[in-house]
């Protein structure tokens, strides 16, 4: 029940922030000045007939949904993994907030002896994205475009508990069920909100859905 109430609180907080006039939005954000808030979104559907694994029409529609959902959230940073599809997922939101997308690891850089390219396995983004998010100053609000094979590991690196056989992690709980994509949900419209309170050493993870629910 506590988990469901927490999710509902965040959901209605998002609605309330969107309903506030611009002059009051800064006051709403001030309540979060003692934490770091991170929004994680996995990229949408991809075009499988090309070698670039870029977003297809439906995937780009989801990117628009992400930008609309977060249009009145006071984002301070936007990140993505090195993959084209994860960057495309957050580019519209970044533009609407006049922010640049920081891709980590950077394309063309060397990581673990391998040159990073668009199709380099997504797991290569776990360490650099985790380190960048850990270094965010208190009061930051970041959006991160991720992949199914790195998002849970990044959250775990930021302090979210990992479930196991003796303490399984249920969908929507303040934990992650695994570190790779073996347990990742099939839907493309998941939105995770992670709040980090460095002073208290606490994490709060909320798992929501965004945008329209049409299939495709």
Question: What CATH architecture is 2-9+32-209?
Answer: 3-Layer(aba) Sandwich (3.40)
Residues with pLDDT less than 70, the chain = 1-32, 171, 199-200, 212-216
Structure tokens at 135: 């270094």
The strand pair at 77-80 and 101-103 is best described as parallel
Residue 213, pLDDT score: 56
pLDDT of residue 165: 81
Asked whether the beta carbons of 13 and 30 are under 8 A apart, the reply is: no
Return the bridge partners of 46, or none.
55
- Measured CA to CA, the distance from residue 94 to residue 78 in angstroms comes to 6
Give residue 37's pLDDT.
97
pLDDT at 28: 41
Report pLDDT for 50. Answer: 80
Q: What is the pLDDT of residues 144-171, one digit of tens each?
A: 999 999 999 999 999 999 988 888 887 6
Q: Quote the CA–CA distance of 195 and 20 in Å, as a whole number.
A: 22
- Burial (CB count <10 Å: 0-12, 13-18, 19+), residue 159: middle
Sign of CA dihedral 93, 99, 100, 105: negative
The pLDDT score that the predictor gives to residue 144 is: 98
- Compute the distance between CA of residue 171 and CA of residue 85 in angstroms, rounded to an integer: 25
């Amino acid at each position: 029940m506590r988990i469901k109430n927490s999710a509902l609180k965040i959901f209605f907080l998002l609605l309330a922030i969107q309903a506030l006039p611009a002059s009051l939005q800064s006051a709403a954000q001030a309540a979060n000045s003692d934490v770091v808030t991170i929004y994680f979104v996995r990229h949408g559907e991809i075009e499988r007939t090309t070698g670039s694994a870029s977003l297809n029409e439906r995937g780009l529609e989801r990117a628009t949904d992400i930008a609309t959902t977060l249009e009145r959230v006071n984002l301070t940073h936007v990140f993505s993994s090195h993959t084209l599809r994860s960057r495309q997922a957050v580019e519209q939101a970044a533009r609407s907030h006049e922010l640049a997308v920081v891709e980590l690891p950077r394309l063309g850089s060397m990581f673990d002896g391998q040159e990073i390219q668009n199709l380099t396995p997504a797991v290569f983004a776990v360490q650099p994205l985790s380190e960048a998010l850990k270094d965010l100053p208190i009061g930051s609000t970041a959006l991160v475009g991720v992949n199914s094979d790195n998002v849970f590991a990044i959250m775990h690196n930021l302090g979210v508990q990992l479930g196991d056989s003796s303490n399984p992690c249920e969908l929507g709980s303040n934990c992650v069920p695994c570190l790779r994509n073996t347990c990742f949900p099939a839907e493309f419209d998941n939105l995770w909100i992670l709040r980090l309170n460095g002073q208290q050493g606490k994490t709060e993870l909320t798992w929501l859905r965004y945008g329209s629910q049409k299939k495709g």
